[in-house]
Copies of this chain bind each other. A is one copy, B any other.
Amino acid sequence: MNSKPKVYKSKVVNIKHGSGFTYVEPVNLYGCEFGQNVFVGPFVEIQTNVKIGNNTRIQSHTFICELVTIGNNCFIGHGVMFINDLFSKGGPAQGDQSLWKKTEIGNNVSVGSNATILPVTICNDVVIGAGSVVTKDITEQGVYAGNPARKIR
């Protein structure tokens, strides 16, 4: 019953990155890929196979899960949470990755702090307001906010 816990440490491992890659420890980045001039703030976790484009900034406290792709010149605010598992069977997929859904974010997309991004596609030139919950694809440029997020401008 009281066996020793298995302890891992947040780390940066098995990543690919272009020039000008900057991050602030502690971060937990594994198996993901960054373009040029990417910044990652502290207290960030980014999972396997995530791809992030050139000149994109990932601010503190953000979590980016597997199956997320983010374009160039994006700004992902603080405390933004990405999701790939919609609990479609009434609970977590528990490793059945066929149940996971992907997120694709275009170029020049800015996501406000504390936003929550369900598995969606977001086109180029979109602003997501702080605290929004994005539940549907966004296919038209503009400013979206609220829970669920709707176009406001």
| Partner-B contacts on A (CB < 8 A) | 1-3, 5-10, 12, 16-26, 28, 36, 41-43, 45, 57, 59-61, 63, 73, 75, 77-79, 81-83, 87, 90-92, 108, 110, 112-114, 116, 118, 125, 127, 130-131, 133, 143, 146-147
Across the interface, do B112 and A114 meet the contact criterion of CB distance under 8 Å? no
- Nearest chain-B residue to A57 (Cβ)? B92
Copies of this chain in the oligomer: 3
Contacts of A73 in B (CB 8 A): 91
Contact of A116 among B21, B63, B131 (CB under 8 A): B131
Contacts of A127 in B (CB 8 A): 87, 90-91
Most chain B CB within a 10 A radius of its CB, from A12, A113, A118, A127: A113
Across the interface, do B133 and A110 meet the contact criterion of CB distance under 8 Å? no
Q: Shortest Cβ distance from A150 into chain B, in angstroms?
A: 12
Q: What is the CA–CA distance of A102 and B147 in the complex, to the nearest angstrom? A: 25
Q: Shortest Cβ distance from A75 into chain B, in angstroms?
A: 4
Q: What is the CA–CA distance of A28 and B16 in the complex, to the nearest angstrom? A: 26
Q: What is the CA–CA distance of A1 and B8 in the complex, to the nearest angstrom? A: 30
Q: Shortest Cβ distance from A46 into chain B, in angstroms?
A: 11
Q: What is the CA–CA distance of A2 and B33 in the complex, to the nearest angstrom? A: 12
